[in-house]
Structure 1
């Protein structure tokens, strides 16, 4: 008798957000991850959506925690699934607007560094897997 497909274990899905934030010069906000997954790699700020939290509230909280910057969440720019150890991260990236364009980012929480980068900078950085091609595909690469 074949196995019942409904009896197969499913991989837990973790809801996450990412922030696509450009400064007035068109540079993209990136953080260097201080913890796994992706420790030491550059990525957009973001993280898990807490229970009962909207995507917009989650992305605004994550950007503030990781960079000290306040943003207003806008429309989603894309969605990607990232396999992790025993989970799948379902990441929705949202376009975000800086509330204070003159504010200077400061690494905090899960980030050990933070920077606004150009497209040329992005090409030279050790980034999380598929970051560059994903951002290119969504049309949100920095200037």
Structure 2
């Protein structure tokens, strides 16, 4: 792997940390002339809480994700990037991002936010950023601060 990134994946979950990762991703992509892939994984574990899964719920979640990713895509293009795509998947984000999506798109850098899960949630389901870092086939940047923080 060289010193330039060519395919950058930014994990988008709607959190402020994911937004910070997106902002940093734009700068890295611009410096490297890289392609940016925005990814949102609709966590199907949350549907387990619903007695009868209704496809309307999944459709609604997908529509909201599409709207969110299209806004991020537009922002990236307005910032000067020319190759910005997005992908919406279903499943566990901590598994799908590093093991499936990153490999499928030949990603060489993943940016994700350090989300604010509490200790109990991390104990039971594990941190998404931790799993991405552990299982990604490429470099990972876990973002904890806003782009211009000192």
TM superposition score normalised by structure 1 = 0.28
Larger Rg: 1
Higher helix share goes to which structure?
A: 2
TM superposition score normalised by structure 2 = 0.28
